[in-house]
Amino acid sequence: MADQNENPNADMLSRRMRSGRRRQESDAEQTQAMDPADLPSAPAAGSGASPASGPAPAASSGRPSMISEEEWALINGTAPAAEPRDPEDPVRAVEVPRGRQESRWGALGVIGTIWIALTVPFVLAAVAVRAVASPLFLRFEYFWRPGFPADEYGWSAEERQHYASYVLGYLHNFDGSRYLADVVLPSGQPVFLTEEIAHMQDVKFLISLLYLIAIVMGVVAVIFMLLLSRSSAVGVRPGLFWGSLLTLLGFAALGVLGALDFDAFFTGFHQVFFDAGTWQFYVDDALIRLFPQTFWVDAGIAAAAIVLIVAITLLLLNLPRRRRRH
């Protein structure tokens, strides 16, 4: 069954035309009842007198005098397209910005959405790495973490905090390997061996590369966000949604691998990013004494928790919304 409000404009015009016809019939009856002497006389031809005020004569197109030009255009199907209406208030027209009148998935929308989606995992990974590679996380491990293994060769928690802070400082400064070579024990003996310093150089390169990629992609992603929010109907929500979903899937896969066999996962990770024989040390070497396996397990859990919390928050805030049916 058809909706009675399917064409409100046609109903309005029908009522207008019926009202106009009734008005003309009423005027005609009043005119017949009047004395001919009381009727206004027509102006003489060429006298220049203007006709009495009243309804304008019908146009040559056949438009009745009681119908306006807009309504006559609606009847004949020549009216311009109606402005979009707010579903909450059908009387008020919705203002559509010029920039959003373009195609929903133009080139800018596709490229920007893909870029933002790929940026999210790198930025979250960089944030997580920076969080665990911090003095606060070191202090938590050495002083507050229950069950953290003590150094079997005599370093106290304060000494481990002191020497480990040099490692973190080296990862985030612009100094060369000499920075770690100058760290010595009270006896004057170097804390870190040459092989350990070489390994930390490789670690510093990887972390710096991650930071650089995250910063560059993040800056470009912000530019895309500004452009999409102003000149595209796509917006930034799809990119953030797919980026957070991609991050969750990737880190979930890594988490499952780490939970199944952490030793195998740890070894495989180092084999991918480091040359063979450059990342394995003796239990009495400084890097093993400062960063035992428990530290890496805790660091992996903390980094994963940071990434998952932020990614889930982004996912929930940018869930696709269903369009309303009008």
Two tokens, residue 324:
């309303």
Q: Please give the single-letter amino acid code of residue 134.
A: S
pLDDT at position 244: 95
pLDDT at position 105: 59
pLDDT at position 263: 83
pLDDT at position 326: 44
Q: Is residue 13, in this structure, part of any structural domain at all?
A: no
C-alpha radius of gyration, the chain, whole number: 39
pLDDT at position 108: 82
Q: Is residue 280, in this structure, part of any structural domain at all?
A: yes
Domains: count for the chain: 1
Helices (H) and strands (E) counted in the chain, each on its own, are 11, 0
pLDDT at position 228: 87
Phi, psi at 101, each rounded to 5°: -85, -5
CA–CA separation, 237 and 116 (whole Å): 10
Two tokens, residue 138:
């070191």
Residue pair 307/124 in contact (Cβ under 8 Å)? The answer is: yes
CA–CA separation, 290 and 162 (whole Å): 10
Q: Is residue 200, in this structure, part of any structural domain at all?
A: yes
For tokens 């070489």, the residue is 198
First to last CA, the chain: 17
DSSP string computed for 253-278? HHHHHHHH-HHHHHHHHHHHHS-TTS
Q: Is residue 201, in this structure, part of any structural domain at all?
A: yes
| DSSP reduced 3-state for 93 | strand
Q: Is residue 271, in this structure, part of any structural domain at all?
A: yes
Q: Is residue 197, in this structure, part of any structural domain at all?
A: yes
pLDDT at position 265: 86
pLDDT at position 50: 47
Report the predicted TM-score, pTM, of the whole model to 2 decimal places: 0.66
Q: Is 125 exposed, middle or buried (0-12, 13-18, 19+ CB in 10 A)?
A: buried
Q: Is residue 190, in this structure, part of any structural domain at all?
A: yes
Residue pair 61/69 in contact (Cβ under 8 Å)? The answer is: no
The residue segments making up the domain with residue 164 are 129-317
Averaged pLDDT in 10-residue chunks for the chain of 326 residues: 50 60 60 53 48 48 68 65 55 50 66 94 96 95 94 94 96 93 93 95 96 97 90 81 94 85 85 87 94 93 93 92 55
pLDDT at position 97: 52
Q: Is residue 42, in this structure, part of any structural domain at all?
A: no
For tokens 């491990």, the residue is 141
b/e per residue, 22-59, with b = 16+ CB within 10 A? eeeeeeeeeeeeeeeeeeeeeeeeeeeeeeeeeeeeee
Q: Taking Cα atoms as reference points, which of 281, 296, 277, 130 lies closest to residue 192?
A: 281
pLDDT at position 1: 46
pLDDT at position 89: 54
pLDDT at position 18: 63
pLDDT at position 275: 87
Partners of 85 in the beta sheet? 93
